[in-house]
Structure 1
């Protein structure tokens, strides 16, 4: 199988051959083909027109071991820059654009948090990390978190009281960035939900301290390598879909058009490996990730978590995963569906009640970020929910 670098360099490479996932008809998956036809058409509609929802998009959907939809639409690279005077992207000549394919890698943005959460759960399963242990027990030098008694569970459930983000991108060097994290106290009421990238940055430091290994190594050795997810890893990833033309004032840094380097400014400032952002992946690889969790932590001969620990990960309110959120899960929400979204235009949902999964990857920030709109994500999930037939699922 190709390495991440090889896959990224040629914009995707060959599809992965996973032992438990296969492409087959909707009927073999126990899904209604008519609803999935609507899903595919609506995905294509999202990339058309003068101001599409996204320049390009990949959707992968299935049930049980069957991938019933794997579709690409639009462009991996469409724009050269963004013109603030016309509030429009500066389009590349058609021959210079890069078409989207099902194998195109994407900047996952906050879907990275799910991998950090699984890496943490692996340490909890091994007994090297306590779910209700205080962060200060592992990171005594992180003075503010230690002083306020922040726990590992609070980091995973976004109930630590830490603010949503810190301006690490404005720090002069790594030492200043580290000091900012060490001295940052909670500003909210502990136990109250406040979504925060800082939670996952602290969790990254906990994992790296107790294992003596970097997060990129933990994700590779503990998740992507055993699952055969060779197109998944931290960047750079030159063949990835382009993201944003970053310029102040709409962005937090002046970096120009981004492709193959992490979009998130804080993850960029941290060298591209961060607990909250930085991973690149493909739709097929994320389908493997979803299938593994739906199967209780195993995929083919590999086991990355035991079923009890998958239950702990996905039981409301969820550890790292969002649970039953209709705003992006549509009608899949309601019986324990789990997933997450990413700022660049990514999302995944897995529903254990129906054994279904939906991966939607886009470069919705290409050529520049807009106010978030998760309506298309919810609509796609609703199509999948309505496609579920009350029949036995296809066998392995």
Structure 2
């Protein structure tokens, strides 16, 4: 029976010692093969034409311990630059393009938030961090957060009232960036949902303070290493799919064509390791992450969280995870499915009710960012939901 290999693309090395997810037929996974064939065809269709949804797409889907779909389509690198006058990408020659494969790492963008959340909940499980403790108890120098009584739970549930982001990329140095964050007060009503990258940045600073270790070390030691996710880590990641040709005014910095360095400008300004963005990974590695959570926090002999804490992560309103969001989960939403999306075109959905999971990695921002369109992500998730119902 074929099993997953974990090539060391970036962020670590070593072989997975735990029993691995196996690749098998849809029937062995308890999924309808016709619906999965539709899923694969639609994934390929997303990469075709002069203006594809994404130049490259990787889809990994399965149920229980079985991966029934692992498919790559299109190109990890298709464009050399972007022409704003014609609003088109400047295409590489056919020989210079890089095809996407199932081993291609992608910039995860906001899927990074899921690992930041798990790292924080691990500290809650160990008793070094309080769920309802105030951020000011750990970071008294963050005066605005302390004054307004922002809690760890509010950071995890995006109910702190902090605005979506700050222009940290325009600051002259780290000292100025930290100064901005320390005095930033809530702009929304505390307790009301307002999605914000700042929540995960503050959470990063909290877990780093209580552990004395940086976030990249915490993610490696607490998540990716024990699970054998050897292709997952913060950049640089030279073999990754390309993202954007960044130039002002459409981007927030002048960085040229990006490949293997974080796309998010604030994460880049913070050195590439940030609570809200910065991780690179492959579809296979993220399938292991999904399977671990669906199995209550364990994968083979490794355990990264206890089942009660995993349930807390995935149960509405979710801790870092979004729950039952049809705009990207399609018909998987409605029975407690949890997941997240990333600005670069990524998404992850896992459904504890049916033990199904779907990972979509794409570079929709290559060669330039476009208005968000999560319809394709929702459509692929619907195909998986129907594959469950069709068996």
| TM-score between both structures, scaled by the size of structure 1 | 0.95
When residues 390 and 257 of structure 1 are mapped into structure 2, their CA distance, relative to the original with a 3 A threshold, is closer
Correspondence list, 1:280-359, <5 A = 280-359=280-359
3-state secondary structure, aligned to 1:388:
helix
Contact kept, 8 Å, 2:158 with 2:193, in 1: the verdict is yes
Shift of 1:7: 1.5
- State the Cα distance separating 1:18 from its structure 2 match: 6.0
After superposition, give the CA deviation of every residue in 1:74-127 in whole Å (9 maximum; x if it has no partner): 000000000001100000011011000000000000000000000000000000
**What residue in structure 1 maps to residue 9 of structure 2?**
7
Corresponding residue of 1:184 = 184
Report the secondary structure of 1:7's partner residue. Answer: coil
Question: 2:130 — aligned with what?
Answer: 130
Task: List 4+ stretches of structure 1 deviating above 2 A.
Answer: 1-4, 12-18
2:387 maps to 1:387: yes
Q: How many residues align?
A: 388
Contact 1:16 1:284 survives alignment (8 Å): no
The alignment status of 1:377 with 2:377, answered yes or no, reads: yes
Structure 2: distance between partners of 1:137 and 1:71: 47
Does the 8 Å contact 2:10/2:232 carry over to 1? Answer: no
- Aligned residue in 2 for 1:394: none
The two structures have a TM-score, normalised by structure 2, of 0.97
Distance 2:5 2:358 in 1: 25
Do 2:36 and 2:383's aligned partners in 1 also have CA atoms closer than 8 Å? yes
Shift of 1:390: 7.8
Q: Does the 8 Å contact 2:109/2:276 carry over to 1?
A: yes
Give me the whole-angstrom Cα distance separating, in 1, the residues matched to 2:326 and 2:147: 37
- CA RMSD, Structure 1 to Structure 2 (Å): 1.9
In the TM superposition, residue 199 of structure 1 has moved relative to its aligned partner by: 0.3
Instruction: Tell me, yes or no, if structure 1 residue 19 matches structure 2 residue 58.
Output: no
- Does the 8 Å CA contact 1:21/1:66 hold for their aligned counterparts? yes
Q: Does 1:31 align with 2:31?
A: yes
Distance change >3 Å, CA 17–CA 287, structure 1 → 2:
farther
SS of corresponding position for 2:9: helix
1:76/1:241 contact within 8 Å kept: yes
Match of 1:197 in 2: 197
Per-residue deviation at 1:2?
9.7
Tell whether the 8 Å contact from 2:10 to 2:233 is kept in structure 1 after alignment: no
Shift of 1:20: 3.6
Unmatched runs of 5 consecutive residues or more in structure 2: none
Could you say if the C-alpha distance between residues 390 and 309 of structure 1 is closer, same or farther in structure 2, counting changes exceeding 3 Å? farther
Determine if contact 1:109/1:346 at 8 Å carries over to the other structure.
yes
Provide the residue aligned with 2:256 in structure 1.
256
Give the structure 1 partner of residue 100 of structure 2.
100
Contact persistence 1:2–1:230 (CA under 8 A): no
